[in-house]
Structure formats: C-alpha cells, structure tokens
Structure 1
Amino acid sequence: MRTPTCHGRVITTLVGCTALVLAATGTAQAASHPDLGRQTLAAHDGWASEGTGTTGGSAADADHVFTVTTWDEFRAALTAAAGAPSVIKVKGTIDATSQGCASFEAPGYDFDQYLADYDPAVWGLDAPLTGEQEELRAASADNQKLGIMAFVPADTTIVGVGRDAGIRGASLQIKGVENVIVRNLTIEAPLDCFPAWDPTDGETGAWNSEYDAVVVYGSRHVWVDHNTLTDGRYPDSTLPSYFGEIYQQHDGLLDIVRGADLVTASWNVLADHDKTLMIGNSDSAGADDRDKLRVTLHHNHFDGVVERAPRVRFGKVDAYNNHFTVTAGQKYGYSFGIGIESRLVAEKNSFTLPASVQAGTILKKWKEAPLTASGNYVNGAATDLVAVHNAQYPAEQLASGAGWTPELRTKVNDPRALPGLVGRNAGAGNLC
C-alpha cells in the first residue's frame, strides 16, 4: 500500500487495485483507476516509440472492448478485433490446453509404440524418422498447433485485469501486423505435447519442441510490458528423459524474428526457462532482418534463465537497466549472445551471480560483431563485461563499440538500485 499523502483536503491511497479518496470527513469513496486498455507507450520509451509510436487498441470504441474468461472467448475476441482498434481484457487465467494432450492425439497415435519403433537400438542414429507412428505424431502436433496458436490483429491491446490474469499453454502470434500492446499477464509457456525425436541431431539424437509463448514475427511497433513469462507448472526439471535425452517440451518465451522491428519489452519477468529470448532466428535471414530487429529491453528481470537473455542477430538492441539473477545450482550458459551483424548496447544492467559463475560467462560470442557494454554491475561491483569475457575466453575475443548511441530512453536508473527496484515492480500484477 502506498503511504497516503495530503493534497489540500483530500488524501489518495491505493488498496490492491482500487483507488480510494478519503475526504476530510474520513469517508472512503472509489476513484476511477486508469484503464490499462487505454494506455499507450510513452514518448521516447524505446524503439517501439519511434515515429508514430505504439498505441495498440487505445482508440477502441465500445463495441471493440472485450472481456474474456475462457480460451474460446479469447480467440473469438481476436477474430472480432480484426479491422478496428480493439482492447481484449483477460479476466482470471485462461487455458488453451485445459482438455489435456490427449485431446490433440490423432487416432492411432501411441507414444509407447513410438518409443519402441524409434529406439536408437532399433532405428539407429543415422536416418530421419519415417513410418506410421511418426506420421501420427506429426498429425497430432498439427492438431495442437491449431488448438493453441492465437493470432493477434493490428491495433490491439491485450491486457490482464487485476493481479491474477494469465494465459496458459498458448502461443501468442504477433505476426505481420503493426501496433500491438501486451500487458499485465502471467503467461505460462506452452508445453509441446508431441516433441519430435531427431536421431541425427548431434551425436546421440535430441528431442525438438515447438511453440514459443509470445512470437513477434515480421511485425512493427509492439510493446510487451509488465508480464511474467515462465515455464510455470512445468519447469524443465520435471520433464522426463527418453533415449538418454531430456524430453524437451519447451521452446522460447519471447522470440522477435523475421523482419520484426520497433519493439519495446519493459518491466517483464522472464523466469525459470532455458532458451528465453531470441532476436533474429537464423544467420541466413539477413535479407529479412538486416536494418530491422530494433529492440529495446529495459527494467526486465531475467530470473533463473539458462541462456538467450537475449541472443541477438542483426539488430540494434538497446538493453539497459535489466536485472539478471542466477541461482546457485541452476543450469546457466550465458545472458547476452552476440550473433551475426548484431549491434548490442548493454548498459547499466545488474547481475547477481553465485560464486560458481564467473562474470566473463555473461557474454557469449557466436559471431564476430562489436558491442557496447558499459556501466554494468556484477554482485554490486562495477564490471567491464567485455574485458572479463576476453580474459576468461582468450580464443573468443569480443570487440567493443557497437557504433550507435541509443536515444529513445526514459529514466535510466543507477544499476545498483535495480535488484530492489526491478525485483519489486517488474512482472504481472504490478500495474495496479
């Protein structure tokens, strides 16, 4: 609760999500709270504020404001939203997979038979899978794709109502559109019911999954703000192993790919996930991605994630004032991945690392590309991330100097304040 302050004869306070006005008599009267569905991205708040800015569905008329409580209602609202500015308010938690994986199974698909048919001791590791059970697995996967993908139209705001709004098991597709806002939602990553076994992937084969929680694909002017994205009920630690490999059922939390541009992701929590945030999904996609993939990441909390926070190809990415927490004993690869033709600026971020993780691991070199990394703090101490990386990995030297200076920033905080500031205020439920 915010401490009441006196303004003449009126004291204003917030209780949960309800604004109260206390008059001189002490009588409490409800005051209007700002409608999140009508809010727009502030000027100069990252790349998504460039040019025309990002307004989402803030101009929606009464016929294009929808409140949904089920997955079917949500998808129906997305259909009805097409063609006009719209606001979709999610109340409570909606679940795209409430009927379970069995509801997507093609007739005749039998996972036990699948395992028996494609056991490396039977099938080997040299040939791609063929045969009835692989065809039925693929058909089942197609059924799931149709069931859990939701395509967001242009000029739309999707916003959670209150502190407990969320979406489970879905893949939000912001594809080929402009001007979208997603705020105040707890989004549990979809669980791929039918991962594909690829015996030729690596020396021992691997399970490969699909479905990112949120995908920005070829879209412009997108603002993703105050959400919590996580594996939720199904962290990787709970997943089984088959053929000696983890039965991977997760892909990314937030991917920004294929010519996407002018994106701001702010005040989100991205937690307990492996391949977290990818900006540019292929080294061969330069024709689509070159001079695009301009993304701002600020005041996000990357908590217990393994890698890709983010991994960057091609784009001019401004990552400032984010907080990264790595816990003792967790799997950890790196935070910032430096990919082909990327121009990452990573400034005034904070990192909390256990003693087992060296600061040089924060950066990962995938391809030759310069970056700017300044004003960052690790465990409360100012740290030159490029210098400590180059000292730790002498054969993988990184070059300093991204060659551009971000201008679209609002307030920049002292990185030493970020563990508390971001820890308290990032994520769903903190906009009230």
Structure 2
Amino acid sequence: QWQLAPSKSHMIRWLLLAAQGEKDVTLNFSGTPGDDVESMARCLSQLGVTIEKNESNWVVSGVGVNGFKRPVSVLNCGNSGTALRLLTIASARLNYPIMLDGDHTLRRRHSETLLHILEYLGAQVSHGTGLESLPYLIHGPMKSGEVTIDVSRSSQPLSSLLLSMPALDGEIRVNLAGQGVSRLHAQLSFELAEKTGSENQMDWRKHINLKPWVVECPDVVEIPSDRSLESFAILYQSLHGIEVEVTNLPSDDDSLGAEILATCAGGQMMSDIDDFKIDLRDSNDLLPPLAAILAIGNGGTITGASHARHKESNRIEKTSELLAQFGLTATPTEDGLEIEGGQTPTAPSELVKTHADHRLWMTAACLATKVGATLSHPNCYAVSDPDFINKL
C-alpha cells in the first residue's frame, strides 16, 4: 500500500487564505505535509500567524488582511518556489522592508516577472544577480494599478497577485502575455479564492480586472492528496512487476492534471499506439518519473513541458542525464523528451547526481530499488513527501 502526501499546491494556498481571515480554520489531510508546506507555515508564523500542528490537521488562526506583523528575521522559503512567490507579493502589502530567501536551488529560480509587477505597483525591490538572485528585499506598500504578466513560463505570479488582493484598496488590471502554462494551478488559485468570497474569475482572456474581497474561509477545509506523487508508485510497480495500491487517491478534479496517469502511465492507452504522445503543459512535475515509466514500458514522446527547464533543475536535460546513468535513453527536445520503450535499467557506475531536485531524486530512488545506486542529496525527497523513503 502507498499513501500520498497532502497536495502542497492546495495546502500552501489555503494557509495564506486562512491567515487573511479572522477566525480559526482547520485544514484536514492524510499523509505528512512536505518541507515546502512547512516552509510556508514557518514564514507565516514569522508574520504573526498562529498555526497549531496536529497529526492529521493544522489549525490556522487568521489575523485578518491587515494583521501581518513585521518579521524579526528573514523569511526563509526553503525550496518552495510557490511559498516564495506568494509571500513576495504578500510582503509588498506592508509598509516596511521584508527580506525573503531560500535554499541554493531556490536562489537560482529568479522571477523577474514577479519583481516587475511589484515595481509597477509602487513597491521598492532589490535582489541579487546571476545564480544568487535571492535574497529579495521588498518594501511596500504596493498600490492598485495595471501590470503585464507573461504566463508562458509560470502562472504563479498571477496566483500570487490574486491571493493578496484582499489587502488592497482598489482593482488591478492584469494584461496576460504568452501562452499560459500550469493553467490548472492558476485555476486552483481562483477556485480557492472563490470559496472564501472572491468574485474574480479566470478564463484566460487577455485582460483581467482583479478585485479585492473580504476573506470568509470555511471552518474546515479538506486538503486532497498530491496525485502527481502517484507516478512514483506506478514506477515502482512497473519495475518490480507487483501491484501497488494507492490508498488515498484524490478526485480527478483535485488532481491538477496528474489524472492523466490513469491512462498514460497505467497502460490502458499505450499498447495499441505506436507514436504515443503525452502533453505535460499543465502537469510538468510528472516528467522525470513518467520518462522512466515510458522507458521501461512502451515508450513515447513527452511534449508541452518547456517550463520544466525552470524548476529546481532543468528537468528536461537533467532527467535525460539521470536516466542515462541507469542505462536508459531519453532524448531531450525543445519541450520534452523522446523515449524508446522496452529498455532495461542497469546499475550506475558512479554517484547519481540528482541536483537537489526532489522529483529527480525520487525517480532515481525507485530505479535504485531494482538495480542499486548511490544518490546525491539524500534527504531532498522530504520537500514533497517526508515518508517517501519508508514506502520503498
């Protein structure tokens, strides 16, 4: 049996929304929240939000839209790009300087779009350069106005702006540029906001007027599990020829694109298709394990994942390199990988480099249960699933 961790996409967003309400909100979940969720909770605690942590739920005591306090130290977002982006905008609501930082992988994941938004809206911003783009120093308050957001690389700047709208006095006109990626994650932000009283809607028109709202959270929120982590259960199952039962699969509506695993990795669609293609435009986190599944299975082509080049690592190139260490061939393309099927993994001859990328590490760990291997960055799996190693 295999239990999935709570969805960090859902839980991080709910933590911020609940913090902006004025009552206690209980977040129920199964599994263990990952380090990214813990990072968000730690930063909110530094801003004056009380979070009571229990085994199967957390209780967030909201401080209201204007209740954040000046932190006494740096907001360290760890590995979490989502926490960094949401909190960067949230910090710009306040009339004093706040510094945000993260680990060495996050320091390489600079968001020029995010900082340009703040500058256009009147906040003061400074940051590092090159591979050390963090820390950010943000001094608000930002004001209403008009901004342009390029959503072809990430939808998170749009989500970040939306989820801080309750603290603003007026509307913000958002002009969307580029072809949107991770659209389901942006849609999730709008759906969760709607559950707290927001009237803002997302339909991917070129212009959106974001409006403030009074945050009224439900008393109890059920956090779904992270369906993308099912990919590792499927990979493990494929490697060992056994049946693995995932005990807490979320609904397709809560799967953020990972519901495609039921067909593209489960095998139902693959046996009769010679040129099998999988579009990961809205679910690029699946790329490393899915590439391994295809390599030992029937093969195929992964497309639509060009934005995976901007994650903890360049996941397209680094997935190809990692699989090669296990004797598996996956050829990088501009937006994905071409993978021949029927391959057999072999034991690596040297240390497997995972680049502190938790999804690369978890893919390599599954392969290592078949052929053996020594992996770099041994604890990075805890970013999304602290219980992962026990499952193996």
Q: Which has the higher contact order (CA 8 A, sep 6+)?
A: 2
Larger radius of gyration: 1
TMscore range, shorter length: under 0.3
- The structure whose residues are more often helix, as a share, is 2
What TM-score do the two structures reach when normalised by structure 1?
A: 0.25
- The structure with the greater share of residues assigned to strand is 1
